[in-house]
Structure 1
Amino acid sequence: MAARTSSRRVPPGGISPVLLTPFTADGALDEASFVRVVDHLVSLGVRSVMFPGFASEVLTLSDDERAVLIRLLLERAEATRDNVTVIASIPDHATLHATRWASCLVEAGAQALNVLPPHRLGPSGAAVVAHLEAVLAAAAPVPVIIQYAPAQAGTALDVATMSALASRHDNLVAIKVESQPPGPTVAALLAAEPALPSLVGHAGVQMLDALARGAVGVQPGCSFTELYLAVWERRRLGEHDAARDLHTRMLPYLSYWMQDVGLIVAAEKLIAQRRGLVDTETCRQPARLLDRSEREMVGKFCTEFAEFLPEVTR
């Protein structure tokens, strides 16, 4: 059965990297490296970027630091004039703070918002819905994406609840699906009334199945965006075997790193540092430290995919 169509605005498709947060060796924000990462991603032709997310070490950032980096991101995106949509994320647990951030981000010029539903201390389903209703209202008319990440956030949402929210809020335009596997949820959201398109995260481990079921985009980390773009382009050209072959080569690394959020954050930081995207691989403590074998795995990854991952000149 064909998916129902919807008149609501569809978010930018394709590869939409989640920005990392560069730190100096002593743990301070490295704004110069952050700008370098943004400029590099824009140069690759991505249509959107998101910040902050789990890949950004969001739990280690103060409100002031988030504001500084979002301001830099908006300034750089506007300066490039390359039509890059900035998706600013709202991970706050308290509705008071989440709605305040929504209003501030809209005023600052964010073109879209991503909302992580509250999940700490097990809020009721009704409380989660009330939180999302308030954020959607505060953000209107800016498009909003709800992040559905049951493994990381233990959220009480389901497809019927998310579709019902969309029926009441025209600015709910998509769901970031990080259930495992994401494919069935992607298909169910498209079959709902109103239909909701999806982006998928989780490092794109299940991206090909999710795209085949109707997902419109992928939100991985940002240190090897070129690889995801190469998979996407092969698929766009109808070269499905080539897309699957390249993705299959990536899977042993992605599957290992995605055993723990801290692990893939540390691996992506090291890859970014080796490529010259950031000055250090520093993650704020408490953080997952790579052991010798895991550092060797990063080296093997960089060697195997060297043709896609050139060093970034400054």
Structure 2
Amino acid sequence: MTAAGSGDDDRFRGVCPVLEVPFTPAGDVDQAGFARVVDHVLGTGVTAVMFPGFASEFHKLDDAERDLLARILLERTSGLDVAAIVSVPDHATTIAVRRARSAVDAGADAVNILPPSFLSPPGNKVLAHVEAVLDAVAGTTAILQYAPAQTGTVLSPEAIRGLARAHQNLRLVKVEAVPPGPVVSALLDGEPSLSCLVGYAGVQLPDALRRGAAGVQPGCSFVELYVRVWDLWESGRVDEALGLHGRMLPYLAYWMQGVELIVQAEKTISQRRGLIDHDVCRAPGRPLDAHETAMVDRFLEEFHDLLPTPVGRTGTPDNK
């Protein structure tokens, strides 16, 4: 059985990271820094990029900042063979519909829909919200972000397939269930069969790939490692892929104990590598303690051969 959309656009297979947003020490958006992040990630072998997501601290950006950064992303991906995915995490259906249409009009290749979760809306209202956004961008690829671990919103595979039966533009599901594997299998094995990207930092990436996942959507600070795992797996060098992922896993498992924790860890990794100037997360955040900062340094030392410093940049400690 062929997954919906799986053979239509290879840009939605492979590694599709979420872009981080660099801030100045004063907490302002670093526009030039974001442009550098986009350009760097586009050169790592990814097939798509997404903004905004949890890794982008979307819940700490105002509307004008989100619009500005989305415009920078779309300008820099225009004409490239890398898909630009604009996420719509807005809680109000009216606003989500408006933002989805605006993203498509601005040139987004796909829209990611994060179902509303604030104050636990009824399940039928969540489905109605998703359907309204899907209707608003009919003809454009849509991705449903299923993140019960982060949001508490639970949708059954059958409910998701029902959405796909009624809306042919729902082509993929980003699965961040814990564990993701059973959901990936249920979505692939049903009718219609839905392609899946595994999120949650790819902690369970090997299991998801064995079950037929189309790719992974991690953060972007060490995306080269995920690209390497994917390339090894796709070329049949499964043991090497498992070996590299196994080396990453102790770090991923620790950082994924909290969303704010992994966002800060990734920001610090990016700053150490020279991808961004400051590892500032907007408050309230989750600062690293001395042991966790040392863990970042160990991580960078262990994988230094796979994580080059960008040309013209230097990774130096950020005295914030």
Matches of 1:38 and 1:87 in 2, distance apart? 13
Query: What does 1:116-265 correspond to in 2, within 5 Å?
Result: 116-265=114-263
Q: What amino acid sits opposite 1:49 in the alignment?
A: V
5+ long unaligned stretches in structure 1: none
TM-score by length of 2: 0.95
SS in 2 for 1:265: helix
Over aligned residue pairs, what C-alpha RMSD do you find? Answer: 1.2
Query: What does 1:56-75 correspond to in 2, within 5 Å?
Result: 56-75=56-75
By how many angstroms is 1:7 displaced? 6.1
Contact 2:23 2:278 in 1 (8 A): yes
Matches of 1:297 and 1:236 in 2, distance apart? 30
SS in 2 for 1:174: strand
Matches of 2:279 and 2:3 in 1, distance apart? 44
Matches of 1:205 and 1:99 in 2, distance apart? 32
SS in 1 for 2:307: coil
Q: Which residue of 1 aligns with 2:43?
A: 43
Q: Which residue of 2 aligns with 1:98?
A: 96
Q: What amino acid sits opposite 1:101 in the alignment?
A: R
By how many angstroms is 1:139 displaced? 1.2
Deviations 1:74-127 (A, max 9, x none): 00111xx43110000000011011001011111111000100000111111100
1:313 aligns with one of 295, 303, 311 = 311
5+ long unaligned stretches in structure 2: 313-320
Contact 1:42 1:82 in 2 (8 A): no
Query: What does 1:272-311 correspond to in 2, within 5 Å?
Result: 272-311=270-309
Deviations 1:40-71 (A, max 9, x none): 11111211000000111111000110000000
By how many angstroms is 1:251 displaced? 0.4
Change (3 A) 1:294 1:32: same
The reply on whether 1:16 has 2:1 as its aligned counterpart is no
Change (3 A) 1:55 1:5: closer
Matches of 1:108 and 1:308 in 2, distance apart? 35
Change (3 A) 1:264 1:7: closer
Q: Which residue of 1 aligns with 2:317?
A: none
Matches of 1:258 and 1:85 in 2, distance apart? 26
Q: What amino acid sits opposite 1:22 in the alignment?
A: P
SS in 1 for 2:304: coil
SS in 1 for 2:81: coil
Q: Which residue of 2 aligns with 1:25?
A: 25
Counting aligned pairs with the same residue, the percent is 54
Matches of 1:111 and 1:231 in 2, distance apart? 25
Contact 1:145 1:172 in 2 (8 A): yes
Q: Structure 1: which 4+ aligned runs deviate by more than 2 Å? A: 3-11
Q: What amino acid sits opposite 2:276 in the alignment?
A: V
Q: What amino acid sits opposite 1:64 in the alignment?
A: A
Aligned residues: 310
Deviations 1:260-288 (A, max 9, x none): 00000000000000111101000000010
Contact 2:48 2:83 in 1 (8 A): yes
Contact 2:5 2:195 in 1 (8 A): no
